[in-house]
């Protein structure tokens, strides 16, 4: 008996796959923090929801400015959960406007680049849009639903 696959079946299968992908967006914990660092859980597309008209602060320690967070020469401490930085005191090197889309850095093997600070709060590594020049501008925004959301 010969079996054929209809176009309707393919469209339905793709619709289900797209719905499944939409369900797979990162989900914050009960405190509103996005903390997932599971392999394969990297999510690149985020949006600023912080209502502050001054924008969402993106921070980076002076000694790490200009270092690509997804490069092989990234300092080990920036890739390790064993280090706790006082990220909230780092220099603000960029401000994202409310509604602006963010490109999160997923690093090697699509592991979400999240750095935990000295209070255990997660910070999402993001790339600042290229504004000319050769400088790499990566920094951290607070990974909490009050400030960002996955899209």
Output the average pLDDT for the chain.
79
The two tokens of residue 85 are 């930085």
Structure-token match 């270092």, residue found: 67
- Which burial class, exposed, middle or buried, applies to 142 when counting CB atoms under 10 A from its CB (0-12, 13-18, 19+)? buried
SS3 91: strand
Q: What is the pLDDT of residues 111-121, one digit of tens each?
A: 567 888 989 99
CA 137, CA 69: separation in Å to the nearest integer? 9
How long is the chain? 151
Name the strand (E) or helix (H) holding 59: strand 56-60
pTM of structure: 0.77
Residue 8 has pLDDT above 70, yes or no: no
CA distances from 64 to 24, 90, 91, 93, 112 (A): 32, 10, 11, 12, 19
Rounded to the nearest 5 degrees, what angle is found at the Cα of 12, between the Cα atoms of 26 and 27?
10
CA 51, CA 74: separation in Å to the nearest integer? 32
Structure-token match 């600023």, residue found: 48
Percent of the chain whose pLDDT exceeds 90: 38
Per DSSP, 110 falls in state: G
Q: What is the pLDDT of residues 62-106, one digit of tens each?
A: 998 988 887 777 787 776 666 778 999 999 999 999 999 998 887
Higher pLDDT, 60 or 36: 60
């Amino acid at each position: 008996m010969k079996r054929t696959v209809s176009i309707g079946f393919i469209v339905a299968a793709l619709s289900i796959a797209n719905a499944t992908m939409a369900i797979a967006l990162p989900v914050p914990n009960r405190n509103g923090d996005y903390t997932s660092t599971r392999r394969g859980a990297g999510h690149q597309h985020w949006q600023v929801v912080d209502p502050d008209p001054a924008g969402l602060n993106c921070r980076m320690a002076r000694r790490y400015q200009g270092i690509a967070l997804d490069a092989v020469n990234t300092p080990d401490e920036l890739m390790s959960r064993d280090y706790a930085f006082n990220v909230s005191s780092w220099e603000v090197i960029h401000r994202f406007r409310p509604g602006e889309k963010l490109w999160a850095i997923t690093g090697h093997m699509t592991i979400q680049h999240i750095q935990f600070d000295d209070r255990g709060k997660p910070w999402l590594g993001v790339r600042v849009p290229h504004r000319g020049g050769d400088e790499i501008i990566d920094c951290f925004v607070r990974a909490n639903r009050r400030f960002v959301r996955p899209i």
